[in-house]
């Protein structure tokens, strides 16, 4: 393909990324931080050769029935693509790509930060100081739990799970994990990680549990009410993966009844809506989906989008093409 592709962004990207895209393609930018309305999304899909989308855009069967024949590629700005009906899109001949491998360290950092924040009650302490209520040090004030020597159970031992395991080892935690299959012996030995084929058995023995599995039908409510009940009362749960993996209603009930010590969430089941029963709980640290919110990560994601689109424009197969397992 020699002519510049018509590329429409449905999301605001870093200035440097947008500028480079304007240089390489016939690019229409989205200038606000708000989500592109669905009618405008449909309109863009009827005129663009390539759509650059994000997790905010629901690209379902209705979307693909509305898009024009000229739409040849969807370059998703993000690793996860469970908001995209990849099967329908691929059947229509639309190439779908994502940005893998560039969020690993940032997400692992955030996960480790949430583990520390919940365990040591950082947010509660910061709020007390901000309200001017810190009057004197006390031996029993805001007692948390150390993470050194604790057992961390990682649900999903992909890139991010492994990066988290390296950090946890540096903090003196012992690493356990559940995955569809064990990681290689080399990785397991390097991380000194213990594999559990039975998720229920692992959950019942951990001090900290971190969700690092992919989203999708296969992991929807993987931690349902029954599984959450297996956690020990002193355990904490952290989720920086996908909100749909955890039954939020059951989790909120456990937090209120103190059947679990605390939770750190960066993602939510009906994002951006947050279950109101989670709001205001002192043992819940809630963040606005910011695990990958670093200048470096956002720029790297944009560069990955550009690489995929430029490769397609040049007539080659994009390196990060998503292929449905069933096709």
pLDDT digits (tens, 9 = 90+) for 110-139: 999 999 999 999 999 999 999 999 999 999
Q: Is residue 66 part of a domain?
A: yes
**What percent of the chain clears pLDDT 70, i.e. is strictly above it?**
98
130 with 210, same domain?
yes
146 with 271, same domain?
yes
Local structure of 146: helix, strand or coil = coil
Query: Across residues 97-115, what is the average pLDDT?
Result: 96
Distance CA 11, CA 8 (A): 9
**Which pLDDT score, from 0 to 100, does residue 216 have?**
84
58 with 199, same domain?
no
Distance CA 16, CA 21 (A): 9
Under the banding of pLDDT at 50, 70 and 90, the label for residue 82 is confident
Under the banding of pLDDT at 50, 70 and 90, the label for residue 325 is low
Distance CA 45, CA 89 (A): 12
154 with 241, same domain?
yes
205 with 138, same domain?
yes
Q: Per-residue pLDDT for 2 more than 70?
A: no
Query: Across residues 15-20, what is the average pLDDT?
Result: 96
62 with 34, same domain?
yes
Q: Is residue 325 part of a domain?
A: no
**Which pLDDT score, from 0 to 100, does residue 80 have?**
86
**Which pLDDT score, from 0 to 100, does residue 318 have?**
97
Distance CA 281, CA 252 (A): 9
Q: Give me 90's structure tokens.
A: 């691929």
Under the banding of pLDDT at 50, 70 and 90, the label for residue 3 is confident
Q: Pick 290 or 216 by higher pLDDT.
A: 290
242 with 136, same domain?
yes
Side-chain half-sphere exposure of 81, counting CA atoms within 13 A: 23
Q: Is residue 32 part of a domain?
A: yes
**Which pLDDT score, from 0 to 100, does residue 1 have?**
45
Query: Across residues 187-213, what is the average pLDDT?
Result: 97
Q: Is residue 29 part of a domain?
A: yes
Domain that holds residue 308: 6-102+295-313
Under the banding of pLDDT at 50, 70 and 90, the label for residue 215 is confident
pLDDT digits (tens, 9 = 90+) for 35-62: 899 999 999 999 999 999 999 999 999 9
- CATH number assigned to the domain comprising residue 16: 3.40.50.720
Q: Is residue 319 part of a domain?
A: no
108 with 238, same domain?
yes
Question: What is the count of structural domains for the chain?
Answer: 2
Q: Is residue 1 part of a domain?
A: no
Nearest CA among 36, 28, 26 for reference residue 3: 26
Q: Is residue 128 part of a domain?
A: yes
State pTM to two decimals. 0.88
**Which pLDDT score, from 0 to 100, does residue 242 have?**
94
pLDDT digits (tens, 9 = 90+) for 163-188: 999 999 999 999 999 999 999 999 99
Q: String of b and e for 99-119 (b: at least 16 CB within 10 Å)? A: bbebbbbbbbbbbbbbbebbb
User: H or E stretch including 108?
Assistant: helix 104-120
pLDDT digits (tens, 9 = 90+) for 265-279: 999 999 889 999 999
90 with 167, same domain?
no
29 with 136, same domain?
no
Residues recognised as catalytic: 242, 271, 289
**Which pLDDT score, from 0 to 100, does residue 300 have?**
96
78 with 134, same domain?
no
Q: Per-residue pLDDT for 98 more than 60?
A: yes
272 with 219, same domain?
yes
Q: Is residue 227 part of a domain?
A: yes
Query: Across residues 200-220, what is the average pLDDT?
Result: 95
DSSP labels for 32-45?
SSSPPPHHHHHHHH
Q: What is the average pLDDT score of the chain?
A: 95
């Amino acid at each position: 393909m020699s002519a510049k592709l018509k590329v429409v962004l449905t999301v605001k990207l870093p200035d440097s990324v947008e500028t480079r895209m304007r240089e390489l393609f016939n690019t229409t930018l989205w200038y606000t931080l708000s989500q592109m309305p669905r009618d405008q999304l449909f309109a863009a899909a009827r005129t663009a050769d390539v759509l650059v989308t994000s997790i905010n855009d629901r690209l379902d069967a209705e979307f693909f029935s509305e898009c024009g024949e000229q739409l040849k590629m969807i370059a998703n700005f993000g690793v996860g693509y469970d908001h995209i009906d990849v099967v329908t899109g691929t059947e229509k001949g639309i190439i779908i790509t994502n940005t893998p491998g560039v969020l690993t360290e940032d997400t692992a950092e955030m996960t480790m930060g949430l583990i520390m924040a919940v365990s040591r009650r950082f947010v509660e302490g910061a709020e007390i100081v901000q309200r001017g209520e810190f009057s004197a040090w006390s031996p029993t004030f805001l007692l948390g739990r150390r993470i050194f020597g604790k057992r961390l159970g990682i649900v999903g031992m992909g890139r991010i799970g492994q990066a988290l395991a390296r950090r946890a080892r540096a903090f003196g935690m012992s690493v356990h994990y559940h995955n569809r299959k064990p990681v290689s012996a080399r990785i397991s030995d390097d991380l000194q990680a213990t594999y559990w084929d039975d998720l229920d058995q692992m959950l019942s023995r951990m001090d900290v549990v971190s969700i690092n599995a992919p989203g999708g039908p296969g992991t929807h409510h993987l931690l349902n009410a029954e599984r959450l009940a297996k956690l020990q009362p002193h355990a904490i749960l952290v989720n920086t993966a996908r909100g749909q993996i955890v039954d939020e209603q059951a989790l909120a009930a456990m937090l209120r009844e103190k059947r679990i010590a605390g939770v750190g969430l960066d993602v939510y089941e009906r994002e951006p809506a947050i279950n109101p029963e989670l709001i205001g709980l002192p043992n819940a640290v809630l963040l606005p989906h910011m695990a990958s919110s670093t200048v470096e990560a956002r720029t790297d994601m944009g560069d990955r989008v550009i690489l995929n689109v430029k490769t397609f424009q040049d007539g080659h197969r994009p390196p990060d093409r998503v292929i449905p397992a069933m096709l």
